[in-house]
Amino acid sequence: MAMKFSGQVALVTGAAGGIGRAVALAFAAEGLKVAVADFNAEGGEGTVQLIRDAGGEATFVRCDVTSEADVKAMVEQVVATYGRLDYAVNNAGIEGKKDRLPTFEASEFDAIMNVNVKGVWQCLKYQLPVMAAQGGGAIVNTASVAGIRGVKNMSIYSASKHAVIGLTKSAAVEFAKKGIRVNAVCPGLIETDMGLRVIDGAVDKTVYHPAGRMGSPEEIADAVLYLCSDQASFTMGHAMVVDGAISAA
């Protein structure tokens, strides 16, 4: 079933690689103009080049989502370049270290929360008014299966992703009547650099999910595009789990 998009422009943060890159490429394959945002300029420009090589249109925007000035400038640059913002995927995130809860220092707590929670909040803060002014849009925040369950030795990461789901639901309630749909996607263990760090380079990757494998970034991108599409027109404030049944076990 083909996706149906009514808008023209998508913004993806954390798009230098992994899930963000897969989402950016998927949007471009659907004919959208894509703003690729990341603090990693080399990776971000690499994503832009992949889109252009495939015949798509994209631009790179350097952005540290922990900086409000950067986030504000990012959204302004997208609007200045393309005239509007129809879809936003707030994907930038970090996992932090793996260890027991009492071992974390305040600085480590702050680092995770600043990217995963403050970063998403700041993106929403500047994306929502733009979409409201133009009559609508769709936003997907990248949470995690860790946002709906506890995770041993990743307590702060888990807390941050619970918070992303809270932001998602609250924003959905506040802006539904403005024609803006806000949802979240909750990936399980995905075969990205981050995912491989989480499993500590384990040789047997099949033991983490009932599905018997890790997920692919493209499978998460498919879920994100569905949530952005008109086919999800009545889906709001939803945290879609895409995790190979790990949360069901």
Mark whether 157 is an active-site residue. Answer: yes
pLDDT value at residue 203: 53
Which residues have C-beta within 8 Å of that of residue 214, sequence separation ≥ 6? Answer: 188, 189, 190, 191, 195, 205, 208, 244
The pair phi, psi for residue 90, each rounded to 5°, is -90, 90
Which DSSP category does 118 fall into?
Answer: I
> Which residue type does 173 have?
V
How is the chain split into domains, by residue range?
A: 9-242
* pLDDT averaged over 10-residue windows placed end to end, the chain, 249 residues: 75 98 97 97 98 97 98 98 98 93 97 98 98 97 96 95 98 98 95 74 68 92 97 97 91
pLDDT value at residue 209: 75
Q: Do β-strands 9-13 and 33-38 pair in parallel, antiparallel, or remain unpaired?
A: parallel
Report how far residue 46's alpha carbon sits from residue 16's, in angstroms, rounded to the nearest whole number: 7
Number of H helices, E strands in the chain: 8, 7
Q: Are 43 and 18 in contact (CB under 8 A)?
A: no
pLDDT value at residue 25: 98
List Cα–Cα distances, 146 to 42, 78, 128, 186, 197, in angstroms. 29, 31, 26, 8, 15
Candidates 3.40.50.2300, 3.90.650.10, 3.40.50.1260, 3.40.50.720; CATH matching 9-242 = 3.40.50.720
Catalytic residue among 82, 157, 208, 226: 157
Could you tell me which of 72, 73, 65 has the C-alpha nearest to residue 38? 65
